[in-house]
Amino acid sequence: MISQSFFPSLPLRDNVRMYHIRHFEFASACMFPFKPYPPRAECSLTFYPRDPETVEYVADGFKQKRSRSIIMGQHTVRTNRYVSKDFLVLIVHLQPGVFHRITGIPFDSITNTDLDAELIFPQEIKLVNERLSSTGNYQEMISIVETFLLSITGKSRLIPDRIDAIGKLILDEPGKFSVDWLAQQACLSPRQFERKFKARMGVGPKTFSRLARLHQTYQMKHKFPDEDWLSIAVACGYHDYQHLSKDYTEFAQATPVSLFNEDDGAPEKLFGMKETF
């Protein structure tokens, strides 16, 4: 069993923020829990080397079984993620703008959905999936994925954009900067900045910042579970608890308290593990 984060190797840190590996095995199908997953500002490449994951879109109840490797679009809605008997997931959290830089595909074309990664990188990802399925060594899995990532980032001819750097800035300090100021840093008009930001991040800069700040509160509550919500809200730049609760209700379809009550039944909690990000 594992629920752990790993930093990428130095040559990939401009393109990859972090890896996460979660592996849970259950004795009975009736034990399969779900994890409530509020949206966060991210683009990820995700692999399922064992049993598949089923995702439920809470707003409309739509459920689907995911492919064995996916490119996750930027979400603005909550999902519930259901594990399976032998559940293993390796998540590659990409740096802002990397998907667009590598593929040229506008990232806002897959907002609130995901793509089968084999459709984008047919031969390469198929080989990665096969190799991941044949090993039980977590470090070897990361090595397999890193070899693939180095090959595709090395082939990319798209130059990093100022907007990518702004996306990183927002992730590091969400809610701190106005859209007008960010547009000035990109040397663009606010309208041009909005359009180009959506193509690279999947949503506009204001929504991206709100999602990043929401996730910041989620991380803080996991790290300091005894901290009250008002203190967390203020520390993360919200006016008050009501301001925070409004964002949770809009994006996570739950209040902060009710979401964390649901999270108590998440797989890692059942095995006595802490959340990783």
Query: Which pLDDT score is estimated for 157?
Result: 58
Query: Which pLDDT score is estimated for 140?
Result: 98
**By the 8 A CB rule, do 197 and 205 touch?**
yes
pTM passes above 0.85? yes
**Tens-digit pLDDT string for the chain (277 aa):** 888 999 999 999 999 999 999 998 887 665 678 899 999 999 999 999 999 899 999 989 899 999 999 999 999 999 999 988 899 999 999 999 999 989 989 999 999 999 999 999 999 999 999 999 999 999 999 999 999 999 998 765 566 789 999 999 999 999 899 999 999 999 999 999 999 999 999 999 999 999 999 999 999 998 999 999 999 999 999 999 999 999 999 999 999 999 999 988 888 877 776 666 6
Alpha-carbon separation of residue 246 from 24, 112, 170, 229, 233 (angstroms): 33, 20, 20, 13, 11
Take residue 31 and report the two structure tokens written for it: 């034990």
- Which domains, ranges and CATH numbers included, belong to the chain? 2-158 (2.60.120.10)
SS3 assignment, position 104: coil
Contacts of 173 (CB under 8 A, 6+ apart): none
Pairing, β 34-37 against β 16-25: unpaired
Query: Which pLDDT score is estimated for 276?
Result: 64
* N- to C-terminal Cα separation, the chain: 17
**By the 8 A CB rule, do 167 and 97 touch?**
yes
CA pair distance 235, 275, nearest whole angstrom: 20
Pairing, β 54-57 against β 114-116: unpaired
